[in-house]
Amino acid sequence: MGHPTDAELETKEMDLRSMSNVQAEYVHKVGIPPKQNLFKEFKATMKETFFADDPLRSFKDQSGSRKFILGIQAVFPILEWGRSYNLAKFRGDLIAGLTIASLCIPQDIGYSKLANLAPQYGLYSSFVPPLIYAAMGSSRDIAIGPVAVVSLLLGTLLQNEIDPVEHAAEYRRLAFTATFFAGITQVTLGIFRLGFLIDFLSHAAIVGFMGGAAITIALQQLKGFLGIRKFTKKTDIISVTHSVFTSAHHGWNWQTIVIGATFLAFLLFAKYIGKKNRKLFWVPAIGPLISVVLSTLFVFITHAEKHGVEIVKHIEKGINPPSVNEIYFSGEYLAKGFRIGLVAGMIALTEAIAIGRTFASMKDYQIDGNKEMVALGTMNVVGSMTSCYVATGSFSRSAVNYMAGCRTAVSNIVMSCVVFLTLQFITPLFKYTPNAILSAIIISAVINLIDFQAAILIWKIDKFDFVACMGAFFGVVFVSVEIGLLIAVSISFAKILLQVTRPRTAILGKIPRTTVYRNIQQYPEANRVPGVLIVRVDSAVYFSNSNYVKERILRWLTNEEENVKSDYQTKIQFLIVEMSPVTDIDTSGIHALEELVRSLEKRGVQLILANPGPIVINKLHASNFANLIGQDKIFLTVAEAVAFCSPKLVEEA
Q: Of 218-226, 236-244, 269-277, 507-515, which segment contacts a copy of itself by CB under 8 A?
A: 507-515
Q: Which of 193, 271, 407, 619 binds a copy of itself (CB under 8 A)?
A: 619
528 binds a copy of itself (CB under 8 A): no
How is 160-219 classified by DSSP, letter by letter?
A: TTS-TTTTHHHHHHHHHHHHHHHHHHHHHHHHTT-GGGGGGS-HHHHHHHHHHHHHHHHH
Q: Of 149-157, 251-259, 399-407, 509-517, which segment contacts a copy of itself by CB under 8 A?
A: 509-517
Q: What are phi and psi of 181, to 5 degrees?
A: -75, -25
305 binds a copy of itself (CB under 8 A): no
**Per-position x/- string for 139-178, each x denoting binding to a copy of itself as judged by CB under 8 A, each - no binding:** ----------------------------------------
Q: Of 1-9, 321-329, 396-404, 583-591, which segment contacts a copy of itself by CB under 8 A?
A: 583-591
Q: Of 287-295, 315-323, 438-446, 544-552, which segment contacts a copy of itself by CB under 8 A?
A: 544-552
**Per-position x/- string for 457-486, each x denoting binding to a copy of itself as judged by CB under 8 A, each - no binding:** xx-xxxxxx---------------------
How many CB atoms are closer than 10 A to CB 89? Answer: 18
The number of helix segments (H) and strand segments (E) in the chain equals: 27, 8
**Least gap, CB of 38 to a copy of itself (angstroms):** 7
The whole-angstrom separation of Cα 315 and Cα 477 is 31
Q: Which of 8, 10, 41, 632 binds a copy of itself (CB under 8 A)?
A: 41
Q: Of 296-304, 393-401, 472-480, 590-598, which segment contacts a copy of itself by CB under 8 A?
A: 590-598
Which amino acid, 554? Answer: L
73 binds a copy of itself (CB under 8 A): no
The whole-angstrom separation of Cα 250 and Cα 26 is 89
The whole-angstrom separation of Cα 29 and Cα 16 is 21
Q: What are phi and psi of 232, to 5 degrees?
A: -65, 155
The whole-angstrom separation of Cα 471 and Cα 456 is 15
**Least gap, CB of 8 to a copy of itself (angstroms):** 19
Q: Which of 18, 90, 203, 556 binds a copy of itself (CB under 8 A)?
A: 203
> 462: closest CA among 103, 647, 118, 205?
205
**Least gap, CB of 32 to a copy of itself (angstroms):** 8
- Based on CB atoms, which residue is closest to a copy of itself, 266 or 625? 625
Q: Which of 67, 339, 431, 502 binds a copy of itself (CB under 8 A)?
A: 502
595 binds a copy of itself (CB under 8 A): yes
Contact positions with a copy of itself (CB under 8 A) in 363-392: 364
581 binds a copy of itself (CB under 8 A): yes
Percent helix, percent strand, percent coil in the chain, to nearest 5: 70, 5, 25
> 615: closest CA among 650, 649, 651, 589?
589
25 binds a copy of itself (CB under 8 A): yes
492 binds a copy of itself (CB under 8 A): yes
DSSP code for 311 = B
Q: What are phi and psi of 608, to 5 degrees?
A: -125, 140
Q: Which of 519, 569, 570, 606 binds a copy of itself (CB under 8 A)?
A: 519
Binding residues for a copy of itself, rule CB under 8 A, total 91
For strands 606-610 and 634-635, give the pairing.
parallel
- Based on CB atoms, which residue is closest to a copy of itself, 33 or 331? 33
Which amino acid, 497? Answer: L
38 binds a copy of itself (CB under 8 A): yes
361 binds a copy of itself (CB under 8 A): yes
Which amino acid, 241? Answer: T
613 binds a copy of itself (CB under 8 A): yes
- Based on CB atoms, which residue is closest to a copy of itself, 108 or 372? 372
- Based on CB atoms, which residue is closest to a copy of itself, 38 or 301? 38
Q: Which residues contact 512 (CB under 8 A, 6 or more apart)?
A: 11, 525, 526, 527
Contact 150, 107 (CB under 8 A): no
How many CB atoms are closer than 10 A to CB 358? Answer: 18
